[in-house]
Structure 1
Amino acid sequence: MSGSRVSPLTRDSGATVPPGELSQFWPDRGFAGQIPQDLLKPFFRLGRTKNFTRGTAVPLAGDVVYLLLRGCVMEQGGAGNGLLRGSGELLGDTDLYAPNSELYFARTITSETTCVVITVPRLVHFMQQEPKISFALIWALSRRVQSLGARRAVDCLNSIGRTAWLLLEISEALGTAENPAARLSGMSQEMMAASIGQSPAAVQNDLRELRYRGAIETGYRTVHIRDRKQLERLVPPGGATASRVGAAAV
């Protein structure tokens, strides 16, 4: 099962999921991938599913957390400003470690983003009953720290290096580290620029140069990666994506 392969999910009320269906859309990556199979259904029942359209600003660091089942978002504000989060990741979890954290947002960049919305008290109570969930949360926190470290290293890259890094990040967020997505859609040049501290004009020039080199093809809010290795050569180890940082540390 791939973390990017999910069946259509339109429930918005927390309706009961038939046995066996849950595993069809449950991501096998991130925080979700660390939850034992026998706890998937109890965990899913903690909240309700909710769909967000592209461009929605989802408030984080409050009394709810969001488990991202499908789609990709970009954090805006807070320590993770510009950080991309993909399926399987837990959003708004900083309030679990530091209550009353500063309010920040996650901006959805895919046409449809699906989350399980869970109140913090319910999640904390479930963690007290099932310690394995606490281990999954600790694992997710360590990965977040790695992602933030990688994000800071990107500030040292030149313009085209930052753009290449961002394309690699989106690719892994929409797919998996082992099977990254080749077709990236839903992110405007303005959003790309904001996430890496560049101007839209600079991002446009970078994409034009990468297209000239044969590394990518572009369309309306769409980038198709043709030569991933070319992009990776533009990002030195210090600016590697979080998954590659983690792999290097193993």
Structure 2
Amino acid sequence: MTAGAEGGVRKVLVVIGVGGMGEAIARRQATGRTVVLADFSEQALERVGGALRGDGFEVVTRTVDVSSRASVAELADAAAALGRVTQVVHTAGLSPVQAPRDAILAVDLLGTALVLDEFERVIAPGGAGLVIASMAGHFMPPLPPEVAHALATTPSDELLSLPVFASITEAAAAYPFAKHANHLRVRAASSAWGARGARVNSISPGVISTPMGQQELAGESGGQMRAMIAASGTGRVGTPYDIADAAAFLLGPDASFITGTDLLVDGGVVAAVSTGRLDLRGGQ
């Protein structure tokens, strides 16, 4: 029986985005599964795929552009052709120091919506999906109910045409808005996934020691981020394995009654800000 087979049918884990968190989650979940690693970067796929194969895991790599429905659909179909798609993890994203406003909305928001759509088609009964959002989404002020409803339910191909995006002109504003919208899209998608007997949730990481996180710490907002870490209950930067452990819970059987929700894994930063321990306007 091949690795990842159950009753003659392989169990398939799909990880989209093979940065620090994607690689850590893949390693945490790979045992007994065929792993499909997908990323826009062929170089990243070669590096991470080769490392996992060297450790004995069964790995298939595919390039994907998450902002393209056709590309995401091809990935979903390819994964389903390998066996039962039991776990799907979407980690791909761009931060304000990496990309302009349009790219952030295309990857972080539209990309998430398309992954939720296309993998809903192929997720196996009993399966689970997970979207990596961000604690930045928790800092958004409440949206008008009609705007929140539109962000949650508008067909994905029309999503970026919503009037609300006309007022979002900078990458620094696009990022938290997209991540907040991720929470709404996951909540709405949970019913459709549930109709297939599957669950879907999101995780909102705090400041995590990944290449993206280090870029942000070195950028314009780095001082504020360090103040947030210092004020948090844990007082430290997170690791990709902190996120992988949380992902293992949400993807596993112990979370069978959890769907359509977001798990904040930020070391206590949002708690510190929301209770006044840290004032982001003054940095203290």
TM-score range, shorter chain: 0.3 to 0.5
TM-score by length of 1: 0.34
Scaled by the length of structure 2, what TM-score is found? 0.31
Q: Which has more helix, going by share of residues?
A: 2
